[in-house]
Amino acid sequence: MLELKVNEALCLRQLQPEHAPLVFRQIHTSRKTLRRFLPWVDYNTHEEHSLRFIQLMQRKADDQDAIAFGMWRGEELCGVIDLHNWDHNLQKAEIGYWIGDSFQGKGIVSNSCRALIRFAFKQLRLNKIEIRFVLQNERSAYIPIRLGFSREGILRHSAKLHGQYVDTVVMGMLKGDWKG
């Protein structure tokens, strides 16, 4: 299991099957907030669904296509952060994240992103990282802005959220722009 230290209080631990109950519990207790911008929340209604997600991400990690981490404050699972859509040809990937309601506004996601960016640029030798989010998700927009990402554009009707097409913002950072 891969573990990345974020700071004295936080670490990222690669998700394992035994984390499924904690992942599901965090999704369930924050369901109303999470589902506003994350369509997959409606399909994660049982612990088994969280387990399947973790198993899928483990297979993708084995294939070097993606990797998912729990964001941990001590022994508390705060949320999940991942690196996905890993393109080895272009040496780029996307970061995705979500955090439970009781952990929002504490810098956990921003600090976790910094640690994952450092890992992606140094260990994985990626050249570019993207963060994408639904245009209306202002809270999520603050994270890449705070981290120094550049707004690259808006993909119109590039996602579906609760039966409606929505626009997605693409923010990017090149390894050469990283101040890490």
How large is the average pLDDT for residues 151-176? 96
Give me 145's structure tokens.
């802005």
Domain 3-126: CATH architecture, name and number where available: 3-Layer(aba) Sandwich (3.40)
- pLDDT of res. 179: 83
CA nearest neighbour of 174 among 135, 108, 112, 120: 120
Answer for the pair 150, 173: CB distance below 8 angstroms, yes or no: yes
Q: How many CB atoms within 10 Å of residue 2?
A: 11
The tens digit of pLDDT for each residue in 167-176 reads 999 999 999 9
Give the integer Cα–Cα distance in Å for 156 and 173: 21
The tens digit of pLDDT for each residue in 33-52 reads 999 999 999 999 999 999 99
Give the integer Cα–Cα distance in Å for 37 and 179: 29
Residue 1 — very low, low, confident or very high, per pLDDT cuts 50/70/90?
confident
CA nearest neighbour of 57 among 23, 89, 27: 23
Give the integer Cα–Cα distance in Å for 69 and 100: 14
CA nearest neighbour of 124 among 88, 96, 149: 88
How large is the average pLDDT for residues 1-15? 95
Give the integer Cα–Cα distance in Å for 62 and 46: 25
